Amino acid sequence: MPDVGDTVTASLTVDPYDATTAATLTVTAPNGTVSSPATGTADNGKTWTAPLTYTAAGLWRLSWTVTGTGASVQHEVVPVAPAPPTMADVRSYATTTQLANILHKAPPLDAVELLERATDLLDSDFLKAAVYDVDDAGMPTDPVVRAAFAEAVCRQVEFWGEVGVETDVSGPLEGVSIGSVQLQFGASENRSGPDYYAPGLIRALENIPADKLRWGISTGGFAW
């Protein structure tokens, strides 16, 4: 799979072909922009090529139109990946260095994305009812809280490495408690949902002193 910024040579093989064969390429970018790079052949019409640079992530459509002998229209959809994010590109309570040190091994290649996702999970499912000191960017300023949040998201990434990343982490959960706070998400009385949260995440939050993090009232999934 190409990455954004890659320059490739698009190619089409025509059969049958002869001196009347000609091929053009129309490229549709993910935002709908259409371009027609120059095409050429080095073997009298059998193979046609065109230079192409993928300038954005997403789905690109390559449409070849052949006239003369071998006349046809052929389409190809090419998925283009974005450049891998760095820690500067995401909001995260932990760095990949902290993750490696907590796991005592090299982090996974998608560690940046997983840390971002774990941070989103912590924010949306746990911290809406929490009160703690933050800076202008909304990040905790107390070193104890910072360390606990880092531990929490790293343990969640570790957990996902063992059980797989779930796509809906706030649906069927039932029965997680942090002190006097209980979280119950969607599981019915007769159907307990699977636990989508790392036990280490819960412990990290439980270990934060009450004078550094306080639980307020939320209209979301928290209940007393």
Q: Which residue has the tokens 């039932």?
A: 174
Q: What are phi and psi of 17, to 5 degrees?
A: -150, 160
What's the CA dihedral at 82, 136, 140, 220 to 10 degrees? -80
Length of the chain counted residue by residue: 224
Contacts 24+ apart (CB under 8 A), 71-75: 72/14, 74/12
Distance of CA 105 to the CA centre of its chain: 22
Q: What is the pLDDT of residue 60?
A: 98
**How many whole angstroms separate alpha carbon 150 and alpha carbon 144?**
10
CATH architecture of 6-80: Sandwich (2.60)
**How many whole angstroms separate alpha carbon 48 and alpha carbon 74?**
13
Q: Which DSSP category does 37 fall into?
A: -
Q: What is the pLDDT along the chain (224 residues), one digit of tens a residue?
A: 899 999 999 999 999 999 999 999 999 999 999 999 999 999 999 999 999 999 999 999 999 999 999 999 999 999 999 999 999 999 999 999 999 999 999 999 999 999 999 999 999 999 988 999 999 999 999 999 999 999 999 999 999 998 887 544 444 445 555 665 555 544 445 444 446 899 999 999 999 999 999 987 544 443 33
In one letter, which amino acid is 43? D
Asked if the peptide bond before residue 16 counts as cis, ω within 30 degrees of 0, the response is yes
How many degrees, rounded to 5, is the angle at CA 133 between CA 97 and CA 121?
A: 55
Q: What is the pLDDT of residue 165?
A: 76
> Across the strands, what pairs with 182?
177, 223
Q: What is the pLDDT of residue 191?
A: 41
Q: Which DSSP category does 5 fall into?
A: T
- Report residue 58 as tokens: 């997403």
Q: What is the pLDDT of residue 46?
A: 97
**Domain boundaries along the sequence of the chain:** 6-80, 96-215
**How many whole angstroms separate alpha carbon 157 and alpha carbon 92?**
12
Q: What is the pLDDT of residue 129?
A: 84
